Amino acid sequence: MMKLWKDFYDLVMPDVPGCTFAAIDSALRQSAVVFCEQSLAWRIELSPISVVAGIAEYALTPPEDAVVHAITLAALNGEEIEAYKGETDISARNRYNRTSPQYISGGPGSIILAPKPTATGALTMIVALKPSPASAGIDDVQFNEYREAIVHGALLRLMLSPKKPYTNAQLAAYHQQQFAIKTAAAGVRVAKNYARTPLRTSIMARR
């Protein structure tokens, strides 16, 4: 289920009189994106991907109005593989490990296994999501848990708008501080909750 940006209005509009709905929607979307990127709080387990021998790249299928920001946990045939963020060149990555499968996120729409798999298998993943650039809202669980942080981020942006009835640099600084505090707290909370979360295919200890 999804909550639309208008579901935030009663928390935002009293502080920004005269602000348009379009501007509020944009500020909420931007705030939610940054919140999700920094906290990695919006996580789901994707349906298993059937891996084919000799095929390295596979499409990701996140929920509607969301994109994959990061892969936080993955297992191929029950054995954990590493989310490698610092290298996008497969040949370079293979120099470090030529036998154990690794994956590299090639973008929000696909992942690349390196080296190429030599057998069929099942790839299971827990991913961190964020709203898409055109999203109409956010998952209702995230709304219920983290709406205060998202509202602070939206008010920060709106109050920094020049020459508006609600322009207020001092209050913007307050909302910036609260957004940072609540985002960091959400990140710590989620990291603890997912520290020992098993995938549907149980993860074996890395060799």
Confirm whether 141 is domain-assigned: yes
Contacts for 29 with CB less than 8 Å, ≥ 6 apart? 5, 131, 133, 135
pLDDT at 118: 86
pTM score, whole prediction: 0.84
- The answer to whether the CB of 185 falls within 8 A of the CB of 145 is no
The reply to whether 117 and 170 lie within a common domain is no
pLDDT at 82: 78
pLDDT at 90: 44
Residue range of the domain that includes 122: 43-130
Confirm whether 207 is domain-assigned: no
Question: Could you list the mean pLDDT of each consecutive 10-residue stretch along the chain, which spans 207 residues?
Answer: 95 97 98 97 94 91 92 88 58 46 68 86 92 95 96 98 96 98 95 65 39
CA torsion, points 161, 166, 169, 173, in degrees to nearest 10? -100
6-38: b (≥16 Cβ within 10 Å) or e: eebeebbeebbeebeeebbbebbbbbbbbbbeb
- The answer to whether the CB of 67 falls within 8 A of the CB of 191 is no
The reply to whether 61 and 88 lie within a common domain is yes
Question: Considering 75, 106, 130, which residue would you say is the last residue of a domain?
Answer: 130
Question: Considering 130, 145, 170, which residue would you say is the last residue of a domain?
Answer: 130
